[in-house]
Structure 1
Amino acid sequence: MRRLALAVVLALPLSACGLHPMYAGGSGGAIAQGLTAVDVSEMPGRAGWLMRSALVDRLGSARRTGPARYRLDVRLDDKLEGLGLLSDDTVTRERRTLRARYQLVDLATGQIVLDETVGLDAGIDVVSSEYATVAAENTALENLTKEVSDRIVTRIALKLRALDAAGK
């Protein structure tokens, strides 16, 4: 009986902490519906194709039944640079950097709702096998694309939640 009373007393402060579930209502909730209403613009190059595919998957834009409410414009900057050098000027380490400047545009008003930049980098060991190095560079790009797209979708969800709260 004492344990139950203690559990109830300790649970009371948690109810007032101000945390609210982001995706309340599941796929029918306001945030999930807002994310599916985002149309992702085309992006050039392999990095652009990977980024657009990741964003469409994470936003759920393919499940949209009605017209888009927002457009997401993304400009990518993908750099690969050599870092470690041996005495014979052979590169032993590379860094792949992926930066994305993105804007969320309200299609009804043309207003930019969100304008931010996100970027990550990854280190790559350059080995004697050229095939292995190219494979590592490609894998780094794929992983960076997934991470950057996750961050973009999280920021969009936070912005949509703020807009939803302001509209109520």
Structure 2
Amino acid sequence: MRALLALIALVALPSCGLQPMYAGGGSASVAQGMAAIDVPAIPGREGWLVRNALEERFGAGGEATPQYRLDVRLDDALEALGVLNDDTITRERRILRARYQLVDLATGEILLDATAGADAGIDVVSSEYATIAAEQSALENLAKEVADRMVTRIALTLRQRASEDGAR
């Protein structure tokens, strides 16, 4: 019975309209478009982390001629959450937000203007070193998460643009 249900699900899957984002591997239009995105330097340590994560996900290695530019502005904040009666902070929240624009270099058209963000909770302990290390680890993880969200949105935009160009 389970095998029959699995077979029915496999047969029904193509009719649901789902398509692989990177169908065709490295030669897919989305993959080629993402490899052709130039990410200028982003100020600050958080900018360096986000830029590296983006370039890693785009597969940039100078192989493709840039067709797009990704302009990114970051806002990194650390807030006190848990405060005791004696004003001792016991918990912090690190927030990383990105405002980004994908620009077509040939036309100057802004293809995507969006935001992405993530936050993480940090326990403040008696060891200042441990707290600073936790804050830095949170920033590294947030940079990867924000980059992942940006890449997903950019890939969807490039896929939509490729399908529109194919329909013309």
TM-score category of the 2 structures, normalised to the smaller one: over 0.9
Q: How many residues align?
A: 166
Other-structure match for 1:128: 126
Other-structure match for 1:99: 97
Counterpart CA distance in 1 for 2:78 and 2:9 is: 52
Q: Which one of the candidate residues 66, 79, 89 is aligned to 1:81?
A: 79
1:59 aligns with 2:58: yes
Alpha-carbon deviation of 1:149? 0.1
Other-structure match for 2:20: 21
Cα-to-partner distance string for 1:108-156 (whole Å, 9 max, x where unaligned) = 0000000001111100000000000000000000000000000100111
Other-structure match for 2:46: 47
Q: 1:104 to 1:129 in 2, by over 3 A?
A: same
Alpha-carbon deviation of 1:65? 2.2
Q: Which one of the candidate residues 100, 115, 121 is aligned to 2:113?
A: 115
Q: 1:91 to 1:109 in 2, by over 3 A?
A: same
Gaps of 5+ in 1: none
Other-structure match for 1:72: 70
- Look up the SS of the partner of 2:147 in the other structure: helix
Q: Percent identity?
A: 63
Counterpart CA distance in 1 for 2:151 and 2:46 is: 17
Alpha-carbon deviation of 1:29? 1.1
Question: Aligned AA for 1:40?
Answer: V
- Look up the SS of the partner of 1:24 in the other structure: coil
Q: 1:9 to 1:139 in 2, by over 3 A?
A: closer
Question: Aligned AA for 2:58?
Answer: L
Conserved in 1, the CA contact under 8 Å of 2:35 and 2:64? no
Q: TM-score w.r.t. structure 2 length?
A: 0.92
Q: RMSD of the alignment, in Å?
A: 1.9
Counterpart CA distance in 2 for 1:166 and 1:123 is: 41
- Look up the SS of the partner of 1:135 in the other structure: helix
Q: 1:10 to 1:154 in 2, by over 3 A?
A: closer
Q: Which one of the candidate residues 126, 139, 142 is aligned to 1:141?
A: 139
Counterpart CA distance in 2 for 1:22 and 1:159 is: 11
Gaps of 5+ in 2: none
Q: 1:102 to 1:7 in 2, by over 3 A?
A: closer
- Look up the SS of the partner of 1:21 in the other structure: coil
Alpha-carbon deviation of 1:7? 6.7
Question: Aligned AA for 1:16?
Answer: S
Q: Which one of the candidate residues 126, 151, 160 is aligned to 1:162?
A: 160
Cα-to-partner distance string for 1:85-124 (whole Å, 9 max, x where unaligned) = 1111110000000000000000000000000011111000
